[in-house]
Amino acid sequence: MKTTVLQKSLKEGINTVSRAVGKSTTLPVLKNILIKVKDNFLNISSTDLEMGVKWWVLTKTEKKGEITVPFSTISSFVNLLPEKNIDLQLKDNKLTINCEGYKTQINGVSSEEFPIIPEVKKDKSISINSRLFCEGLMQVIDIPSPSKVKPEISGVLFLFSGKQLKMVATDSYRLTEKTVNLENSVKSDFSFILPQRTAREIVNIFKEENKNVDIFFNSNQILFELKMDEVDHPKTQVSSKLIEGNYPDYKEIIPSKYETQVVLNKDEFLNKIKAASVFSGKINEVTLKIDTKKGELLVKSENPDLGDYNANIKAKLEGDDVSISFNYKFLLDGLNNIKSSQVLLGVNGESNPGVIKPIGKDDFLYVVMPIKNN
C-alpha cells in the first residue's frame, strides 16, 4: 500500500468512523480501524458488530493494500499532524506515516482478521435530506429505553407513508411522534425499527451535511449512504442491524379528544416547571391544577424538607377542572422539543395519558403518563 492523502481528509475520515469503533475486549481487532487503498480511493472502516461505518476519499493510489491499526493510536497521532500531505505506506503489517518531518510506524493487524461489514442489496431505497432527517430524529432520539420485555420499543420506529415519514419512540412512560414531510411520496408504505444507538450515531455523522442521504434496507439490516460531491461514489456509509418484531400499535395510545384542554405560552410553562422541579423531591412529582373558572393553571410541588412551590399561569382553558401529577423531567423532555411559542396541553382525567403538542404546527406530539395521586 502506498498513497498520499491530506491530513485534513484523513482526520475527517478517522473521526467519522470513530462512531462505530468497538469497545469490547472479546475480539481485540474491533478496536482497530481498517484502512484500504484501492482504485483511486482510500477507504476507512470500523465496526462493533452491531453497526459499521465506512468512509472514502479520492487519492492517487500508487500501490494497493490494506491493514488494520489501533484506532486510538492513529487517531491521536493524526490529530497532532500539520495540515499537510501525509504519505501512507505499508510494509510487513507495519503502517508508515510520513508528514513534514513527522515519521512513525504503527504496528498493524492483518485485515484478514477484521469483520466483514454486511452489505445491503440496493433495491429498496428512499432518499431524504440529511438535515431534515437528523433534526426530526433529534426530537425523539432520547426517549427509547432498553426493554427486555419488548425489545421493539428500545428502538425508533420509522414509518414511511405517502409523503410523510413518522418517527416514533417510547419508553412505556411517554411516547413521541415526529412527522417529517418527504419530497416525493413513497410507492408503498413501509416501516422499520432502528436501534437507538445507531439513530444517535446517524445524527452525529450526518447532521452537519445538507445533502440527500439514501437509505437501503432489508428485513434485518439497514444502510445509510451519503454520496461524494465529485464523483458518483459513496462518501460515508453507516450500516446497522434492525430490531426485528412488530412495533406496538402506538396510534391507539394517542388520545383523540381531551376532557380538558389548555393553551399556554411555552417558555412560561417551561420555566415554571423548572422552578417547581427545585421542590419536587426525589420522586420528581409536579402537580398541575387546572381551574377553568379562574382561567389559570396552577403548578405545584412540595418537599417536606425544603418547602413548597406554587405558581400560576394565565391560560386559555376549556373543559373539566382537573389536578394531575407528572414527573417534571418527562414534561421538560416534551416541552424542550417543541419549537412553537404556544403549546397545547390535553388531559383526560388524572390517571390517563396527557398530550403536549405545538400550536400552529402539527408535526410533533408528546404523550406522557401521569404519576398516581395518593
Partner 1 sequence: MDKTKLWQTVLAQLKTNISEASFNTWFKNTKIESIENKSVTISVPNSFVKEWLENKYNKIILKTIKSIEGDIKQINYTINNNTPVKEKEEKTNFNQMNIQELVVDQETGLNPKYEFDNFIIGPFNELAHAAAYAVAENPGSVYNPFFVYGKTGLGKTHLLQALGNKIKEKKKVKYIQAQKFISGIVSGIRNGTIEDFKKQYKNIDVLIIDDIQFLSGKEKTQEEFFHAFNELYEKNKQIILSSDRPPKSINALTDRLRSRFEGGMIADINYPDTETRVAILKTKAQEKNFYLNNDVLYYIAENVQKNIREMEGVLNKLIIYQKINKGDLDLNSAKKILGNVFKSPVASVSINKIIKAVADFYDINEKEIISSSRKKEVVKPRSVIIYVTRKELEYSFPFIGKKIGGRDHTTVMHSYNKIEKELETNEETKEEISLIKQSILSM
| Residue 172 binds to partner 1 (criterion: CB under 8 A) | yes
| Residue 374 binds to partner 1 (criterion: CB under 8 A) | yes
Exposed / middle / buried, residue 152 (Cβ in 10 Å: 0-12, 13-18, 19+): middle
Closest CB 184 distance from partner 1, rounded Å: 29
Residue number with CB closer to partner 1 (221 or 277): 221
Q: Residue 136 is which amino acid?
A: G
Secondary structure class of 101 (helix, strand, coil): coil
| Residue 249 binds to partner 1 (criterion: CB under 8 A) | yes
Could you say which of 63, 105, 146, 183 contacts partner 1 (CB under 8 A)? 146
In 3D space, the residue among 182, 152, 178 whose CA is nearest the CA of residue 167 turns out to be 178
Query: What gap in Å lies between CA 12 and CA 54, rounded to an integer?
Result: 12
**Residue 164 CB coordination number (10 Å):** 15
> How many residues comprise the chain?
374
Site track 84-123 with partner 1 (rule: CB under 8 A), x = hit: -------------------------------xxxx-----
| Residue 77 binds to partner 1 (criterion: CB under 8 A) | no
| Residue 282 binds to partner 1 (criterion: CB under 8 A) | yes
Find the helix or strand (DSSP H, E) in which 45 lies: strand 41-47
- Using the rule CB under 8 A, give the single segment among 38-46, 61-69, 74-82, 244-252 that binds partner 1: 244-252
Nine-digit cell string for 289: 391544577
Total residues binding partner 1 (CB under 8 A): 51
Query: What gap in Å lies between CA 157 and CA 168, rounded to an integer?
Result: 5
Closest CB 160 distance from partner 1, rounded Å: 22
Q: b/e map of 131-141 (b: 16 or more CB within 10 Å)?
A: ebbbebbbbbb
Residue number with CB closer to partner 1 (134 or 169): 169
The distance of Cα 277 from the centroid of its chain, to the nearest Å, equals 27
Could you say which of 8, 38, 50, 231 contacts partner 1 (CB under 8 A)? 50
| Residue 154 binds to partner 1 (criterion: CB under 8 A) | yes
- Using the rule CB under 8 A, give the single segment among 202-210, 223-231, 282-290, 291-299 that binds partner 1: 282-290
- Using the rule CB under 8 A, give the single segment among 101-109, 223-231, 245-253, 291-299 that binds partner 1: 245-253
- Using the rule CB under 8 A, give the single segment among 36-44, 131-139, 146-154, 312-320 that binds partner 1: 146-154
DSSP for 210-264 reads -SEEEEEE-SSEEEEEEE-SSSSSEEEEEEEE---SPPP-GGGGS-SS-SEEEEE
Residues near partner 1 (CB under 8 A) are 26-28, 47, 49-50, 52, 115-118, 145-151, 153-154, 170, 172-175, 220-221, 241, 244, 246, 248-250, 252-253, 281-284, 303-305, 327, 351, 353, 367, 369-372, 374
